[in-house]
């Protein structure tokens, strides 16, 4: 008997909520069409079209090119080939992010190493490469991608 009362109460509450939803549709303003709204047709900003400009706006270094890129990747591979594990572009992105950690935690080497270890994972090292290698990765990133940080 008690189960029936609970079920009836829940059904009544659901019915009231449904009626409340219907009355809102009658009294509320029509919603704008997201596809045809002016903001949907606006051109993309420069930062989304130019990753280096977006990085500069965020206080990060530009993507390394040429000899700088080679020096970074060679430095990581000299520590352990599993750090890059054939994903050069991913390693570059992680290196730039590592520079962001240096910038956001100046003078806090322990925090920088901790964040570097968390960021630099691989299929065979899903929890990072350890504190020693993380410190080496941090040093290579800072020396080759963001020496002024």
pTM of the model: 0.66
Q: What percentage of the chain has pLDDT greater than the value 70?
A: 68
Q: Which residues pair with 125 in a beta bridge?
A: 122
Q: What is the pLDDT of residue 40?
A: 43
What confidence category does residue 105 fall into, taking pLDDT thresholds of 50, 70 and 90?
Answer: very high
Over residues 33-61, the pLDDT tens digits come to 444 444 444 444 444 578 878 888 888 99
Long-range contacts of 67-75 (CB under 8 A, 24+ apart): 68/144, 68/145, 71/144, 72/140, 72/141, 72/144, 72/145, 75/140, 75/143, 75/144
């Amino acid at each position: 008997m008690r189960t029936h009362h609970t079920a009836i109460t829940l059904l009544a509450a659901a019915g009231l909520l449904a009626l409340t939803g219907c009355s809102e549709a009658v009294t509320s303003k029509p919603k704008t069409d997201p596809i045809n709204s002016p903001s949907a047709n606006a051109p993309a900003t420069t930062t989304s079209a130019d990753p280096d400009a977006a990085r500069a706006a965020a206080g990060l270094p530009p993507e390394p090119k040429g000899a700088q890129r080679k020096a970074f990747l060679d430095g990581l591979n000299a520590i352990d080939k599993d750090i890059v594990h054939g994903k050069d572009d991913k390693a570059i992105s992680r290196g730039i992010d590592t520079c962001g950690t240096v910038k956001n935690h100046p003078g806090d080497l322990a925090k920088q190493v901790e964040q570097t270890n968390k960021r630099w994972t691989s299929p065979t090292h899903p929890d990072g490469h350890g504190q020693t290698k993380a410190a080496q990765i941090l040093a290579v990133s800072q020396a080759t991608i963001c020496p002024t940080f």
